[in-house]
Amino acid sequence: MLIGEVARRSGVSTRMLRHYDTLGLVRPTGRTVGNYREYTDEDIRRIFHVESLRSLGLSLRQIGSALEDPEFTPAELVGDLIRWTEQRVEREQELLQRLRAVDATSPAGWPDVLRIVELMHGLDSPSAARRQQAVLARAEDVRVPVELLAGAVLAEADTNVAGALRWALARAGGDGLATVASGVSSADVDIRRRAVLAIAGMAGDEATAVLAGALGDEDITVRGNAALALGARGMAAAVPVLVALVVAGVKDVDAAEVLGGLSSDPATADRILDALTGELAAHPTDAAVRIRLTQALFELGAGDVLRQLAEDDDRSVALVATAFVNLL
């Protein structure tokens, strides 16, 4: 079969077939009566072998080695191809996200596009100071995609930069809740912590609902921050977690203040008082826990219980309780 017929039937261009011939990948071995080169059935099978390996991403050099070396083992090469392909897909996904981020701003001209790209480069910087500067120094007239900021909030490990991103997210307008809320279900506890902190700064019933769902998180920091935010919104459902924070000594001062705010409702105040006194009974000899509970009781204005604690067997607890009674 001559080269034109092979190209027509195989879908491989005559130019590529000649290139294969030059490289020695597929050389037509037959000859016509007029001494023209002719592809045999074996040559055509080899063409399809080459095309099959090309479809996997192998270079022509690698294909030549694979076809000529009888001891060639594909396992290592295929493993490399998998890694290269994963990296390429990751780069393309990043490019797609960048393009969508730019498109979301509805840029009026190339200067707007360049400012958004500059922001994205700044957020990708290995320097925390550079990332923070990129967030805080953006132009007022540049609309920043909320999804871009929300995604950066979930990925940012630096406390200062994360705070700047949460501030920028609040200023950007729009609703980044959906993107940030996806982090609440992440297997990575650090992402869940960042997500809850970001959502705590968002208003609305949907944000409150997401925070309520985080009260059952296995990580005390996640559920604690959710409880602090919900308690500040007057949600009595946060009481058990807030009391647990006081007992554990995790943001116990903040938790006590929030419990004090919730106690403005008489029914909730009774519930909080019962929970705190129950913990006192559960920790009869742990002075540190009892002191933290005493501080929380002071926030509630629970004078009767504080007077009882002023006579506690542990002197440090008694002294703290006495000081609070005097303040009341």
Query: Could you report the per-residue pLDDT of 84-100, keeping only the tens digit for each?
Result: 889 889 888 887 877 88
Q: Is the pLDDT of residue 197 over 70?
A: yes
pLDDT digits (tens, 9 = 90+) for 100-139: 877 877 777 888 788 788 888 888 899 999 999 888 876 5
C-alpha span between 257 and 301 (Å, rounded) = 11
* CATH number of the structural domain 3-68: 1.10.1660.10
pLDDT reported for residue 66: 82
Reply yes or no on whether the pLDDT at 302 is more than 90: yes
| 37-38 and 30-31 beta bridge pairing | antiparallel
Q: Comparing C-alpha atoms, which of 282, 193, 284, 279 is closest to residue 243? A: 279
Alpha helices in 249-313 (DSSP H): 252-262, 266-282, 287-300, 303-309
Task: Check residue 141 and give its pLDDT.
Answer: 60
**261 confidence band (pLDDT: 50, 70, 90):** very high
Out of 6-10, 234-238, 267-271, 290-294, pick the least confident: 6-10
pLDDT tens for each residue of 214-258: 999 999 999 999 999 999 999 999 999 999 999 999 999 999 999
> Which pLDDT band, with edges at 50, 70 and 90, does 311 fall under?
very high
The top-scoring range by mean pLDDT among 16-30, 42-56, 293-307 is 293-307
Q: Return the amino acid letter for 160.
A: N
**pLDDT > 80? residue 173:** no
What is the model's pLDDT at position 113? 82
pLDDT tens for residues 18-41? 999 989 899 998 888 777 789 998
226 in Cβ contact with 251 (< 8 Å): no
Which of 142-146, 252-256, 261-265, 307-311 is the least confident region? 142-146
Query: Identity (one letter) of the amino acid at 233?
Result: R
CA distance 317 to 300: 17
Degrees, nearest 5: CA angle 226-230-235: 140
| pLDDT number for residue 84 | 83
Percent of the chain exceeding pLDDT 90 equals: 55
Cα 90–Cα 184–Cα 199 angle in degrees, nearest 5: 110
**Among 198, 195, 178, which residue's Cα sits nearest to residue 186?**
195
Domain ranges of the chain: 3-68, 234-328
3-state secondary structure (DSSP) of residue 237: helix
Q: Which residues contact 328 (CB under 8 A, 6 or more apart)?
A: 298, 301, 303, 306
Q: Return the minimum-mean-pLDDT range out of 4-13, 162-171, 193-202.
A: 162-171
- What's the confidence (pLDDT) of residue 174? 55
The band of 285, judged by pLDDT with boundaries at 50, 70 and 90, is very high
Q: What is the largest CA-CA distance in the chain?
A: 118
Average pLDDT over residues 284-299: 96
pTM score, whole prediction: 0.69
